Structure 1
Amino acid sequence: MSKVLELVQPTLEAAVVRGVFALPKPARRLLAGRAIRLDDQELALDAQLLLKLMRLAGHEQLSAATPEIARARMRRSTKITAGQVPGVVVADRRIPTASGDLAARLYRPRELSEPGPLLVFFHGGGWVIGDLDSHDDLCRFLAKHAGIRVLSVDYRLAPEFPFPAALDDAIDAYRFVVENAAELGTSPDTIAVGGDSAGGNLAASVALHATRSGLAKPVFQLLIYPAVDATARRRSRELFANGFLLTDGDMDWFMNHYAPEEDVRRDPRLSVLLAEDLSGLPTAHVVTAGFDPLRDEGEEYARRLAEAGVPVIARRFPDLIHGFANLRSIGGRFQEALFEIVGTLRAGLELQKA
């Protein structure tokens, strides 16, 4: 019976969450409480309501006593927030690397038959948690509404495989796509990279590596609230240290697993913001969230790219929290933001063709 309850409970919780979000706005405001204003920003009602539900459920942070427990929590939350994106064809793939095969998933809008742009996507999760399933809904959404192919890569996780294992996998996966572009429905000159949080870090580092190494560089970078500096604590990390999904403690926990030696954290392959030369990098769309500890480092990276002559579309969603891209299916505000991101991605890729 306990096994049955374990399987059924996430479905019941998902139904409760969707029921709450379907309530009229005054009822949702009553449940969420008085609007939260901080740093001249007001937290979106959808975000505040979700955080309230998480507190009631006892899930106020992403870290846990062990990586295994944190990973299990993410798998459970994925079942609660999973949505439906019809019209997307999905195929499991394997990517050979020097360290062994990586699992991957290729997403394609059903109506897309001609070769075209492909986004190599790296999931978030602090390099410790997350997998293909945790970002399946997001990748389906990107493929469907940007009208492109998306290849999601399941890189090795820390602490079992600390830095630079995840990056090595990301670079190997990108190289595989470049070398097998035709078979994947694309060409070397229409490949983009992207990711959220830790995945945004990997995407930015892959773009830097490709540009400097002579490997065909990506045509575009989609960096969604990326982690780009493991050496400094900026103002946003202090302002939003607790209570907004990703916490200050979570950041320490993730980094202590991924790069436990502090000297390593200055490596520009990890802290890409510290790279001396950012010139020549691909056009970037840098997305940040107002109530996110990572906000300021992401925005500083966007400024440094622009100063280096890189075309940058920087967009802060001032009313949202870290992780909002994975919450599309439960709150209208999250989906609105994601539609805007997809629109920018689509336009950015179209401009690269011109």
Structure 2
Amino acid sequence: MTLTTEALAAHDDVDPEIRRFVVALNHGYGQFSDFAALPLPERRAAAEIVRAPWRAGGPVMAKTVTAELAGCRARFHYPQRSDTPQPALLYIHGGGWTMFSIDTHDRLMREYAARAGMVVVGIDYSLSPEVRYPVALDEIVAAYRALRDDAGDFGIAPAAIAIGGDSAGGNLAVATSLRLRDAGDSPPAAMLLNYGAFDPAPTASYARYDGPAYMLTVAEMDGFWRDYAGDPATLVDPLVAPLRADLTGLPPSFLAVPECDILADANRAMAARLGSAGVPVELRLYAGATHSFLEAVSVSSLASAAFDEAARWLAATLRRALA
């Protein structure tokens, strides 16, 4: 069933600008007959088409380079030219570990690059279910190490590299930091976590915000966890469900949490657990925002404000890392 503006109007907890974004995406997917039943390669291609208008426009970079990083396709956004090494953010796109790319998330990366004044690097990791945990995690750990170890070649300051992502990308950002910590390796200087998927256990926000009006449904999220983990027993692994991990020693963290999201409770819990572990943490709850709301930045003042807040935090945190 196609979601209409009139049907969504009943959900008056959703910000009006975000509401129009949700309806537009729903109509976009409605162009494809029985989208959910399409073979996965066709669903991925359709999702790229539907998301394309939302990545258009936005900040113009001084230089953008698409290259290979540790065997994966990567995109480097440089907001300005500089003769000195710059801070950087390694950004991991969401999509339930099964969809999307550095193309769908190109606007998000350019927004962070321009607003925070730093290099942003996106990575195309291998998607599930063709591969399962820990393949994507292994690739991102390798990409982070390559970026840090060869930072001079990329015009990046190795001591000022943050890691971040949205949804499944937020999960992989925390898991990467955990893997590096456990290996005795130097962790990222900061974590940027946008509506991350941190634990498969249902919460009150699962019941409150389930349904297409809020972008992400419980059925979709449950399927994503299955596709990523493979073996159900893997779902309790703290590198799959990092809310269950010992979070001691992780980098300073910023969590952008949309109120109207089935993952909201898990994000609040992650912020609380990071704080209890002694990690400097900032949580911003965006009333009226849904899952994926940052992609609405071209039409949403709320999304724009969220970028500004995260960018200020990133710039300040990475300046301290360089001090």
Fold match (TM-score > 0.5) = yes
Question: How far apart are residue 59 of structure 1 and its match?
Answer: 4.3
Q: Distance in 2 between matches of 1:184 and 1:62?
A: 40
Query: Following superposition of structure 1 onto structure 2, how do residues 276-295 of structure 1 map, counting pairs within 5 Å?
Result: 277-295=246-264
Alignment counterpart, residue 293 of structure 2, candidates 318, 324, 327 = 324
Q: Distance in 1 between matches of 2:228 and 2:159?
A: 32
CA contact (8 A) 1:63 1:254 kept: no
The match for 2:161 is: 191
Q: Which structure would you say has the larger Rg?
A: 1
Alignment counterpart, residue 69 of structure 1, candidates 14, 26, 42 = 42
Query: Following superposition of structure 1 onto structure 2, how do residues 50-61 of structure 1 map, counting pairs within 5 Å?
Result: 50-56=21-27, 59=30
Q: Distance in 1 between matches of 2:35 and 2:269?
A: 25
Q: Distance in 2 between matches of 1:66 and 1:259?
A: 20
The match for 1:94 is: 68
The match for 1:5 is: none
1:273 matched to 2:246: no
Q: Distance in 2 between matches of 1:66 and 1:172?
A: 30
Question: How far apart are residue 64 of structure 1 and its match?
Answer: 5.0
The match for 2:210 is: 241
Unpaired runs of 5+ in structure 2? none
Alignment counterpart, residue 129 of structure 1, candidates 61, 81, 99 = 99
Alignment counterpart, residue 150 of structure 1, candidates 120, 133, 149 = 120
Question: How far apart are residue 51 of structure 1 and its match?
Answer: 2.6
Query: Following superposition of structure 1 onto structure 2, how do residues 27-42 of structure 1 map, counting pairs within 5 Å?
Result: 34=9, 36-37=11-12, 42=13
Local SS of the residue matching 2:104: coil
Q: Distance in 2 between matches of 1:64 and 1:283?
A: 41
Alignment counterpart, residue 16 of structure 2, candidates 45, 48, 51 = 45
* CA RMSD of superposed structures (Å): 2.1
Question: How far apart are residue 145 of structure 1 and its match?
Answer: 1.1
Question: How far apart are residue 117 of structure 1 and its match?
Answer: 1.0
Question: For each residue in 1:263-298, what CA deviation from the matched residue of structure 2 results, as whole angstroms up to 9, or x when unmatched?
Answer: 0111111101111x2111100001111011111111
Single out whichever of 249-258 and 197-206 deviates more from structure 2: 249-258
The match for 1:302 is: 271
Unpaired runs of 5+ in structure 1? 1-29
Question: For each residue in 1:289-339, what CA deviation from the matched residue of structure 2 results, as whole angstroms up to 9, or x when unmatched?
Answer: 101111111110110000010000111112101101222123333223222
CA contact (8 A) 1:62 1:245 kept: no
Sequence identity (%): 31
The match for 2:55 is: 82
Q: In the alignment, residue 127 of structure 2 is paired with which amino acid?
A: L
Q: Distance in 2 between matches of 1:144 and 1:62?
A: 35
CA contact (8 A) 2:260 2:287 kept: yes
Q: In the alignment, residue 129 of structure 1 is paired with which amino acid?
A: M
Distance 1:117 1:129, change over 3 A: same
Local SS of the residue matching 1:342: helix
Question: How far apart are residue 55 of structure 1 and its match?
Answer: 4.4
1:341 matched to 2:314: no
CA contact (8 A) 1:290 1:320 kept: yes
Question: How far apart are residue 63 of structure 1 and its match?
Answer: 5.3
Question: How far apart are residue 151 of structure 1 and its match?
Answer: 1.1
Q: Give TM-score, length-normalised by structure 2.
A: 0.91
CA contact (8 A) 1:112 1:147 kept: no
